[in-house]
Amino acid sequence: MASRGMSFDRIKEVFDAGKQAEAARKEAVRIAVELSPGAPDSLVFALKDALVPQTAQAMIHVGALASNEPILVNPEADLCIILCGSETSLTRTCARGWAKAGVPVCLLAESSLDVPETGISAGVEPACAVATDPNRALALLSQWMVRATEKGPSLAMAFPFCRKAQANSDILSCAAANAGVGAVDFIKGADFPVMCATESSMALRIAALYGYAPGPARTPEIACVVAGGLLMRSVARAATHSFPKISWVLKGFIGWGGTYLTGQLLLARYEAGEAFDEKLAWGLERLKEVAYEMGQRARTLTGSLVEVEPGALYSDGSQGSSLARIADVIDVVVAPEPTQWFEIGQEGNA
């Protein structure tokens, strides 16, 4: 009874994943961007292109730092990104102001020499994303953004460059959870539905990050998750049968590895986006054509067999003769139901 109740809870968890994704899409996100004088143009333009909101609830405030000008700080902001430039003292003052207001701060720079010492306590010390390559800098920034706030899913839906970081964070979290479920066999046979439910919820959340609404359209992905779970369970059973003394270690490792691999495959599928959908549609269309052609051939072959005269199945018995002659029905004897008896012979046999 407890196992059945737990299964219903797992199913409810999968359905709730879709509701949570929709709630995250509607959640407000506020980001402050401060530009220090002399900030590298490559980082400025890269950040400008990356912070184009995809949801109506995302808001961006951009401020240009200047000497002898007040710095406006909004404690309700979720994050603050400061692009470091030549004015390190101005950057330091700005970082201190936002950090003291309780807003997570990240200093974005091309070189560590451009990042000033803020002198703030370790609890609110600003993070740093330093890279000469703008793409690398954005990757580091996205990882910080999804860790610095509880609004990671909302950030990922609003800003595409954060999606991969949030998806990887979700994958690692689910992999750790399934590793624990696999290692601790608290109810025999209950680990599979629990792990499948965790991975299915993960699949729906990752799909929502990339703009794919939960629903019947996600059935192929969920089916692949279940198939992968069955495969991993078979591997785990074979491994534990061979090494029973370390079975809990093997099951935990396979639970982690299987979930991580499933998550990465789902991530690759959604990263491909429309290109994957087009290839999938093309493959399904070709499959339909092949199935139709095979059906036509089968019908043609079946029709040819049906059209053969019954008498052609009987040969005249001469050596080397390839001709067939219809056999004559001499007499028919009707036996009691349900069996029908009949007798056949050649001409001249009375």
Does residue 295 fall inside a structural domain?
no
Q: Do both 119 and 170 map to the same domain?
A: no
pLDDT tens digit sequence for 164-177: 999 999 999 999 99
CA–CA dist 226, 197 (Å, integer):
9
Q: Among 82-91, 201-210, 268-277, 316-325, whose mean pLDDT is lowest?
A: 316-325
The more confidently predicted of residues 4 and 77 is: 77
- Please name which of 28, 138, 150, 157 lies closest in space to residue 83, comparing C-alpha atoms: 138
The number of CA neighbours under 13 Å toward the Cβ of 110 is 14
Mean pLDDT score across all residues of the chain: 80
Q: Do both 251 and 172 map to the same domain?
A: yes
Last residue of a domain, one of 158, 189, 212: 158
pLDDT tens digit sequence for 202-219: 999 999 899 888 778 888
Last residue of a domain, one of 109, 141, 158: 158
Does residue 346 fall inside a structural domain?
no
Is the model's pLDDT at 227 over the cut of 50?
yes
Q: Do both 44 and 142 map to the same domain?
A: yes
The more confidently predicted of residues 108 and 293 is: 108
Q: Tokens 């961007």 correspond to what residue?
A: 33
pLDDT tens digit sequence for 128-165: 888 889 999 999 999 999 999 989 999 999 999 999 99
pLDDT score for 188: 67
pLDDT score for 298: 77
Does residue 138 fall inside a structural domain?
yes
The range of the structural domain enclosing residue 193 comes to 164-272
pLDDT score for 349: 46
CA–CA dist 106, 30 (Å, integer):
14
φ/ψ of residue 288, rounded to 5 = -65, -40
Query: Strand 328-333 and strand 341-345: pairing?
Result: antiparallel
Q: Do both 103 and 175 map to the same domain?
A: no
The number of CA neighbours under 13 Å toward the Cβ of 221 is 29
- Please name which of 20, 54, 58, 48 lies closest in space to residue 211, comparing C-alpha atoms: 54
The more confidently predicted of residues 3 and 24 is: 24
Using an 8 Å Cβ cutoff, are 93 and 119 in contact? Answer: no
Q: Among 6-10, 58-62, 163-167, 251-255, whose mean pLDDT is lowest?
A: 6-10
Q: Which two tokens stand for residue 231?
A: 């495969």
Q: Do both 173 and 150 map to the same domain?
A: no
pLDDT tens digit sequence for 35-76: 999 899 999 999 999 999 988 889 999 998 888 888 888 899
Q: Do both 116 and 179 map to the same domain?
A: no
State mean pLDDT over 98-102: 89
Give the three-class secondary structure for 85: coil
Q: Do both 223 and 140 map to the same domain?
A: no
CA–chain centroid gap for 18, Å, is 14
Q: Do both 116 and 202 map to the same domain?
A: no
pTM of this prediction exceeds 0.85: no
Does residue 305 fall inside a structural domain?
no
Residue 194 — very low, low, confident or very high, per pLDDT cuts 50/70/90? confident
The more confidently predicted of residues 299 and 252 is: 252
pLDDT score for 275: 62
pLDDT score for 80: 94
Angle at 237 between CA 236 and CA 242, to 5 degrees: 100
Last residue of a domain, one of 101, 133, 158: 158
Does residue 216 fall inside a structural domain?
yes
Number of domains in the chain: 2
Q: Do both 145 and 168 map to the same domain?
A: no
Q: CATH number of the domain that 57 lies in?
A: 3.40.50.880
Q: Tokens 């992905």 correspond to what residue?
A: 221
Burial bucket for residue 103 (CB in 10 Å: 0-12, 13-18, 19+): buried
Q: Do both 129 and 214 map to the same domain?
A: no
